Structure 1
Amino acid sequence: MENLAAKYTHIPGWGIDADPKNDPTYPMKHRTDEEQKGYTWERPAQQPEDIEILRSIERPNVSAVFGTSVPPQGLSGQIRRFAFRYSESSYGHWLPLLVADRVNVVEGILDDFKRGHVPNIFAEKGMKADWKYNQKALVQTVVVGALITTAVVVLFRNRKNALS
């Protein structure tokens, strides 16, 4: 263990909490287990709930404040509602939320087109910086995306021809 600690001593602040005598809460905090009593403080005023709020099944109430800028809507909203049926410790909660984020990106692009705005995906995804600092990864991403798109198009064409 000592060898491992010596290996990282060049990092500023490394091991600062290793010495129990250097506990930043001692001697100011006197441990009385008072915090185990639950809500012992006055709860802040509740933010009004004027939009749909998705809440964890593990929480009996909503937190005092929450985001309202993007309420769940469309297909991504349906996926999010599905995800919140499951516990936060479950893949059934987190994986659908990841999918919903990706679906929401596509919904946003389609919404831009619907409003007559052509999105500059190259700039919005930071590809200029990638081109400048990480060309190899950018080219790899573009090639993989093109291959996947081609495979999907070919798959759908083959299905269409097979059904005809």
Structure 2
Amino acid sequence: MENLANNYAHIKGWGIDADPKNDPTYPMKNRTDEEQKGYSWDRPTLQPQDLEVLHSIERPNLSAVFGTSVPPHGLSGQIRRFAFKYSESHYGHWLPLLLADRVSVVEGIVDDLKQGHVPNIFAEKGWKADWKYDRMGLAKKVLIGALITTAVVALLSRNSDDDED
């Protein structure tokens, strides 16, 4: 062990936790090495799984309790299923989940419209507070959104015009 410490002693902070007296919990923690034995409690009764529940591939099983209020569905659910094929340390896990959240918002608006409810997007996005406390920020958001929408519509209409020729 001493030889190992000497090999890496040039690295700032190396071995900082090697001295138990440098442990922030010392001397308050009564060291019995019980934490080395693993869990000493019985696992709680598992919640019954009657819906699809996505979980990390790093976990061999489900946690004892999990949420079931919004099971994966639609296009956002397909994107989430794809994301959970990857490790949590991979962009292929997190980026699709971000996309799935955005798609889920659009799916929610479409569902509202199907049920005859017109969502109050202005209120739901907090624009009333923005108008009251940050008018310049709101104006910037609306301007950028309008520019992006205009660019996308122009690009799509240009491509459809090219297809007709």
Q: TM exceeds 0.5?
A: yes
Residues 151-162 of structure 1 mapped to structure 2, 5 A cutoff: 151-162=151-162
Largest Rg, 1 or 2 = 2
In structure 1, the partner of 2:47 is 47
Supply the AA of the counterpart residue of 2:87: S
2:127 corresponds to 1:139: no
Matches within 5 A, 1:8-157: 23=24, 25=25, 27-157=27-157
C-alpha distance in 1 between matches for 2:132 and 2:118: 24
Distance 1:43 1:28 in 2: 29
* Separation of aligned partners in 2, 1:147 and 1:104: 23
Aligned equivalents of 1:36, 1:85: Cα separation in 2: 32
Distance (Å, rounded) in 1 between the aligned partners of 2:119 and 2:101:
18
Structure 2 unaligned runs (5+)?
1-20
Q: Secondary structure at the match of 2:31?
A: coil
**Residue 38 of structure 1: how far off its partner (Å):** 2.8
How much has 1:79 moved relative to structure 2?
Answer: 0.6
Q: Return the letter of the residue paired with 2:150.
A: T
Letter paired with 1:99? L
> What CA distance in whole angstroms lies between the structure 2 residues aligned with 1:35 and 1:72?
37
Query: Are the structure 2 counterparts of residues 106 and 142 from structure 1 closer, same or farther at C-alpha, using a change threshold of 3 Å?
Result: same
Q: Which of structure 1's runs of 4+ aligned residues deviate more than 6 A?
A: none
The aligned counterpart of 2:7 is: none
Q: Quote the Cα distance in structure 2 between the aligned partners of 1:118 and 1:138.
A: 22
The alignment partner of 2:61 has SS state of coil
Structure 1 gap ranges (5+): 1-19
Q: Identity across aligned pairs (percent)?
A: 71
Deviation, structure 1 residue 27: 4.8
Q: Give the CA deviation at 1:77.
A: 0.5
CA distance in 2, matches of 1:67, 1:88: 19
Distance 1:89-1:33 versus aligned 2 partners, 3 A rule: farther
Counterpart-to-counterpart distance in 2, 1:34 and 1:65: 26
Q: Give the CA RMSD over aligned residues.
A: 1.8
Moved more, 30-39 or 142-151: 30-39
Could you tell me which amino acid in structure 1 is paired with residue 90 of structure 2? S
